Structure 1
Amino acid sequence: MMRMVEIIAAKRDGRALTTAEIEWVVQGYAAGEIPDYQMAALAMAIVLRGMDDRETADLTMAIARSGDMLDLHDVAPLTVDKHSTGGVGDKTTLVLAPMVAAVGLPVAKMSGRGLGFSGGTIDKLESIPGFRANLSAEEFRRAVREPGLVVAAQSGDLAPADKKLYALRDVTATVESIPLIAASVMSKKLAAGADCIVLDVKYGRGAFMHTLDDARQLARTMVAIGRHAGRKVTAVISSMQQPLGFAIGNALEVREAVAALCGSGPSDLVELCLVLGSELVCMAGLRDDPDTARALLVEALSSGAAWEKFRAMVANQDGDVTTLDHPDRLPNAPVQVDLAAPRAGFVTAIDGQTLGFVVNALGGGRVRKEDTIDHSVGLVLRAKVGARVAAGDPLVTIHAARQSDVDAVAERLANAYTIHDTPPPSLPLVEEIIR
């Protein structure tokens, strides 16, 4: 007979928990038999004492098995998925998923909404009038078959133990633990059924992981979980020392993704999507090396096949495709004001986290899950790191619902920029790939 208090004590004292103990805890907590206060105590013991790779994999599988485990093999012999650990201006899924689907790899993706300072893919897609993110299991499966691309809101039956544990960690200061973060991310990915998963693990001021070492440790942990679970997983560690692309905010980011799919997107966004996509193409066995995989994806972009795949997905989920063909019809903020550079020099740093919080303050994000968001507001960067500016040149354009909102964020926004007399060293976009 297992007792929760003994399991908490064992982890407190630094002992590795057994597979059976971990499964018993997750099942008991999901069923409501283990109270929040005991689970919070165990979570804190894990934060302080850690977990080894085997324990972390066991925890992940137990959380994944707490609800439905999707098996899509009857509709597609192989499916791929991508997960980002979250960053400011990260609209990668909107470009990567159609690009990969266009070369014949079905993408079955469940995404989240934004919370904190980074936006959620579902919120971005919902800025397209009519777009429906809440799909039934049957609709989700049908979309995997045709058009071979689906991005839907996470269903309540996927990893319910994670939802419960995530909410508990949020209010008990137990978020910052690599085993707990890795288990949370990977349990949802494994439950969603994909065979090949590429992870975009971001680090920097605009990311959840602030240091490269933390990002590397998280990436290695998640790749190890994938190996234990018999899935193919690769992690790409990418820099979020500044936002990705130029746009931050829901409709603004959809516009930028449309531009990328139509051949005129920001080079950093397109480059990151090509790197991530090449890994998926290689894992799925379509090509043997990243260079030929990349050529395949470049062709899908330049031929318009990726763009057509994106339109097909939006149409399939009841979105208004004419707003994609005429992106100026997407929600537009009534007030658009440039923030001027206070002095001449080179932009040496942009605090992405501050920019993310500014977009929230403008109404483009949530503080609580139930908040409604304004899809039209956000920021468009006019000068990125390394750019030379004269005094008075625009640094960023603020898209707001009213002038008073602009006034409320202007000072905070100005403080997010660092301008020096000498140019900064160039920032790598991709630090490392862990296969």
Structure 2
Amino acid sequence: MAIEPFDVVDLIHAKRDKGALSTAQIDWMIDAYTRGYIGDEQMAAMTMAIFLNGMQREEIRDLTLAMIASGERMNFDALSKPTTDKHSTGGVGDKITLPLAPLVASFGVAVPQLSGRGLGHTGGTLDKLESIPGWRADLSNDEFFAQLESVGSVICAAGAGLAPADKKLYALRDITGTVEAIPLIASSIMSKKIAEGTASLVLDVKFGSGAFLKDPARSRELAETMVALGKDAGVATVALLTNMNVPLGLTIGNANEVRESVEVLAGGGPADVVEITVALAREMLALAGQPEADVEAALKDGRAMDTWNAMIRAQGGDPSAALPVARETHVVTAPSSGVLVKQEALPFGIAAWRLGAGRARKQDPVQHAAGIDLHAKPGDTVTEGQPLFTLSADEPARFERALEALEGAYEIAAPGTAFTADPLIAGRIA
């Protein structure tokens, strides 16, 4: 049996005592954990030490590169078009990938979107798309590359071969209270995105009530860390800091978010969803060599919709098929007339999850028709008795707990109350 070059307990001691790990130590630790030599209990101690004491800039880079090295890397050199990708840190009503990928692809750019499923209050892109009859998330490598070449955009499940160390570490962080450690978030996201092989990457880093990190300063730190990691790896990377205090758009769920995404692709849709989609598309196309691209025109003239239809059909889906509709609905009306001044994202996300739109465990199914449709947004004037939002579920027994989550989550102020919305895009990091 080969003699291991380091002792994991020594490494845990070093991190516990606020020391820095060398490149060789980090490379060995990630490799040893991936092959099972380091146990979960030892890596749990390490992740808590990192959570409490942080990591230096070089350590985060080394951790990211070690996680990439744990698996395979994709290569798009054989494609006839440039590649660009986008990653969002997730939020409530965040369906931006759906209109964004075909929109960018309509300009002759390849968008390889390897996406995931939802857990807890943040929805998964694959869960949303599986609302479409026939659509499938799992593609072979040959299908994936052929669709990138012909259609330009692919949204599908990531293969097990990309950054397997991250998959193991992510599951461990989830059950040990160390999810929010910025070095671990940054290396997790960027190891997968760099292993995907894209030439450029735009990050949508959210802050606020419905975001992974609530504090804008911590979200900015995460964005700066990830942009630096991308540049270190030779991937042109830009981040936008976006506000997730209020749900994005007017839908939270799966099928209803697909419906709203199609409205955006048809040249309509809620202003906030359009604003973020257009801003991210401009950044992606600029990195792919088209800084002058008229993004709004592609939404208005049908090009983006044509690409969406081709993308859905290529993955077995029927873009014209009816989407699932819930068996039961419950409408909540305004208790008084006035101005809606509060609509807190997190409680609405939890309520949609309780309705069946999300999952508590990875193996749980989602109910594609479950969710919430909002009929007003902060700043809107409402009248007593007017519908504020509609809850949808297949089992009416779910409404009670969803309504409990929404107690105090919205507020109507006196008629004529002045309201100024916070900017949706709070910063850009490049």
Q: How does 1:32-431 map to 2 (within 5 A)?
A: 32-287=36-291, 292-293=292-293, 296-323=294-321, 329-421=322-414, 422-431=417-426
Whole-angstrom distance in 2 between the partners of 1:23 and 1:315: 42
Whole-angstrom distance in 1 between the partners of 2:360 and 2:404: 21
Summarize deviations over 1:71-96 as a string: whole Å, max 9, x none.
11112452111000000000000011
Q: Is the 8 A contact 2:210 2:246 kept in 1?
A: yes
CA RMSD of aligned residues (A): 1.2
Whole-angstrom distance in 2 between the partners of 1:52 and 1:425: 39
The answer on 1:6 being equivalent to 2:4 is no
Runs of 4+ in 1 over 6 A off after TM superposition: none
Summarize deviations over 1:254-305 as a string: whole Å, max 9, x none.
0000010001211110111111111111111222xxxx34xx2112111101
Whole-angstrom distance in 2 between the partners of 1:37 and 1:410: 39
Q: List alignment gaps of at least 5 residues for structure 1.
A: 324-328
C-alpha deviation, 1:322, in angstroms: 2.1
Give the residue type in structure 1 aligned to 2:307.
K
Q: Is the 8 A contact 1:109 1:192 kept in 2?
A: no
C-alpha deviation, 1:409, in angstroms: 2.4
Give the residue type in structure 2 aligned to 1:428.
P
Whole-angstrom distance in 1 between the partners of 2:172 and 2:403: 35
Q: Is the 8 A contact 2:338 2:413 kept in 1?
A: yes
Whole-angstrom distance in 1 between the partners of 2:65 and 2:82: 20
C-alpha deviation, 1:412, in angstroms: 3.1
Give the residue type in structure 2 aligned to 1:377.
A
Give the residue type in structure 1 aligned to 2:358.
G
Summarize deviations over 1:373-408 as a string: whole Å, max 9, x none.
110111011111111222222110111214333344
Larger deviation: 12-21 or 361-370?
12-21
Q: List alignment gaps of at least 5 residues for structure 2.
A: none
Percent identical among aligned pairs is 47
Summarize deviations over 1:4-44 as a string: whole Å, max 9, x none.
11111111122221111111110110011111111111111
C-alpha deviation, 1:411, in angstroms: 4.0
C-alpha deviation, 1:343, in angstroms: 2.0
Q: Is the 8 A contact 1:76 1:106 kept in 2?
A: no
Whole-angstrom distance in 2 between the partners of 1:368 and 1:256: 27
Q: Is the 8 A contact 1:245 1:266 kept in 2?
A: yes
Whole-angstrom distance in 1 between the partners of 2:191 and 2:80: 21
1:322 counterpart SS class: coil
Q: Is the 8 A contact 1:53 1:224 kept in 2?
A: no
Whole-angstrom distance in 2 between the partners of 1:207 and 1:15: 31
2:406 counterpart SS class: helix
Summarize deviations over 1:190-224 as a string: whole Å, max 9, x none.
11111110000011111111011111011000001
Which residue does the alignment assign to 1:326? Answer: none
Whole-angstrom distance in 2 between the partners of 1:405 and 1:3: 50
Which residue does the alignment assign to 2:429? Answer: 434
Q: Is the 8 A contact 2:81 2:108 kept in 1?
A: no
Q: Is the 8 A contact 1:366 1:372 kept in 2?
A: yes
Give the residue type in structure 2 aligned to 1:140.
F
Give the residue type in structure 1 aligned to 2:300.
S
**TM-score (ref. length: structure 1):** 0.95
Q: Is the 8 A contact 1:143 1:150 kept in 2?
A: yes
Summarize deviations over 1:104-126 as a string: whole Å, max 9, x none.
11001100100010100000000
C-alpha deviation, 1:99, in angstroms: 0.6
Give the residue type in structure 2 aligned to 1:322.
S
Q: Is the 8 A contact 1:347 1:423 kept in 2?
A: no
Q: Is the 8 A contact 1:197 1:234 kept in 2?
A: yes
Summarize deviations over 1:294-325 as a string: whole Å, max 9, x none.
xx2112111101000011010000001222xx
Give the residue type in structure 2 aligned to 1:433.
R
